[in-house]
Amino acid sequence: MNITIHHGTHEIGGSCVEISSGENRIVIDIGMPLVEESGERFDSKICKTLSPSELVKEKILPDIKGIYKSNKGDKPIDWLFISHSHIDHYGIYTFLRDDIYYYVGEKAKKLIDLTTLFLNFNGDINKCTYLESGKEIKVGNFTITLYLMDHTAFDAYGFLIECEGKKIFYSGDFREHERKGKAFDYFLSKVPENIDALLLEGSLVGSERSITKSEEDIENDIVKTINNTDKIVFGVSSSQNIDRLVSFFKAARRTKRLFVSDVYTSNVLAEIGGKTIPHTSKGYGNIRVYFFPQYTCNKLVKKKREKMIYKFYPYKISMAEISENPGNIVMMVRMSMVRELSLIKGIEGASVIYSMWNGYLEENSSKRFIDFMEEKNMQLIKHHTSGHATIATLEKFVKKTKPKMIIPIHTFSLDKYAGIFPSEKVISVNDRELITS
């Protein structure tokens, strides 16, 4: 088997791996970059101004034959596997041919579809088979076994690829310290040993975070913050970080407050749904939905998706109702909502629980929100934990799988791998470099 990591050997984000055997080719992940080669945050606007061929020349798109709309004359890849629904693992799918066949988790696809709708992407996953943990998929020369992984992205997978008597494992993004931590224990009990090549994510390699809080710890921290104030509590978190939304919901319920979110977040929770995920239903009496910013609802109406708004009318809460009793509310917001938040009465001195990557606070787009908090004498409190594996978790992974080769991916610190794992096993490569297993 031949392995080519098109993106990800020296960076977090933009993951893309091509594996070939004979005439068969599969691609795992097709992510949007998160950073420039200079280390600056990647500006995705460039993808709207350049053609696919120009983006390939700029090394923004991977140079893979047969995947783009602009090279329909080439033989297409056989299958494209998406490990999870974070944009740095699927985001350039908008450039791909319509005849590409996908393998993706069912819930992950729903999250991708919602992102496509609300962010005005032009892509669509037309042809796909849903992934299912423990299942084997035979595609051409390949046998691929699917493993549900614990990650901030709901319905995330790692892949065991077998072919030509060899075994490759692609870890995807994972951890073991969240609500789905048992998924990692299950993985360790099932994954085979003596892997020939392990493509191992290392987002936290090189960082100082040897100990990471569990999601239960975060929930308890949120409860303490809520109990320390009689004001409204705002939560700033990704609308697709289901574990974190559950933590905010449980904290609101434990402190006898309403859990309030916007139409987008409410649609995410409704799509994932189920017995363990809070969503608007009779079983979850403390959930309400606000219908602003107005442009969000206008967008759905314009796209003839009014039902995605109307279904929440029984749970609607108005700005006036929020203003009447703000101390009874935990409200999920985005930092772009300054105008809307300024219309809520009684928010002076409120607590803002920030539960995302700290780097976002340093971006220019966050300045208006930070200035607004200072103006209203709000308190910024950070309760967050990483979505990625600690060094100890990576060591457990390697100890169980006993790989002959460890290939760093999804990391800024590939040079640190040899100090963690047996140096003779660590194979450091560059993007677009061919590896033979």
Q: Is the pLDDT of residue 179 over 80?
A: no
Q: Render pLDDT for 360-395 as a digit per residue (tens, 0 to 9).
A: 998 888 999 999 999 999 999 999 998 899 999 999
- The number of residues in the chain equals 437
Report all structural domains of the chain as residue ranges with CATH numbers, in order of start. Answer: 2-208+387-436 (3.60.15.10), 215-382 (3.40.50.10710)
Contact (Cβ atoms closer than 8 angstroms) between residue 95 and residue 68: yes
- pLDDT recorded at residue 69: 86
pLDDT given for residue 184 in this prediction? 87
The contacts of residue 329 (CB under 8 Å, 6+ apart) are 232, 233, 257, 258, 260, 322
State the first-to-last Cα distance of the chain, in angstroms, to the nearest integer.
5
CB 154 within 8 A of CB 111: yes
Q: What is the mean pLDDT of the chain?
A: 93
Q: Got the DSSP string for 79-131?
A: EEE---S-HHHHGGGGGB-TT-EEEEEHHHHHHHHHHHHHTT------EEEEE
Share above pLDDT 70 across residues of the chain, in percent, rounded to a whole number:
99
Q: Are 284 and 261 in contact (CB under 8 A)?
A: no
Instruction: Give the contacts of 382 (CB within 8 A, at least 6 positions apart).
Output: 353, 354, 355, 358
Angle at 115 between CA 112 and CA 121, to 5 degrees: 100
- pLDDT of 233 above 90: yes
Q: Which pLDDT band, with edges at 50, 70 and 90, does 251 fall under?
A: very high
Going by their DSSP bridges, the two strands 351-354 and 329-333 should be labelled as unpaired
The reported pTM is: 0.93
Are residues 27 and 80 in contact, defined by beta-carbon separation less than 8 angstroms?
yes
Q: How confident is the model at residue 48 (pLDDT cuts 50, 70, 90)?
A: confident
pLDDT confidence of residue 181: 58
Q: Region 224-232: what's the mean pLDDT?
A: 98
Q: What is the mean pLDDT of residues 125-139?
A: 94
Residue scoring higher pLDDT (213 or 300): 300
Residue 210 has pLDDT above 70, yes or no: no
164: left (phi over 0), alpha (psi -120 to 50) or beta: left
pLDDT at 207: 81
Beta bridge partners of 258: 329
Work out the pLDDT band at 119, boundaries 50, 70, 90.
Answer: confident
Q: pLDDT band at 282, cuts 50/70/90?
A: confident
In this prediction, residue 211 has a pLDDT band, given cuts at 50, 70 and 90, of: low
Give the pLDDT band (50/70/90) at residue 72: confident
Q: What's residue 347's pLDDT?
A: 96
Q: Is the peptide bond before 422 cis (omega within 30 degrees of 0)?
A: no
- pLDDT tens track for 343-363: 999 999 999 999 998 989 988
Asked whether the predicted pLDDT for residue 180 surpasses 70, the reply is no
Q: What percent of the chain has pLDDT over 90?
A: 81
CB neighbour list of residue 239: distance below 8 Å, 6 or more residues apart: 245, 261, 262, 264, 265, 268, 332
Q: What's the average model confidence in pLDDT over 61-68? A: 93
Largest Cα separation within the chain, whole Å, is 67
- Nearest Cα neighbor of 346 from 385, 376, 314, 316 is 376
Pick 47 or 159 by higher pLDDT.
159
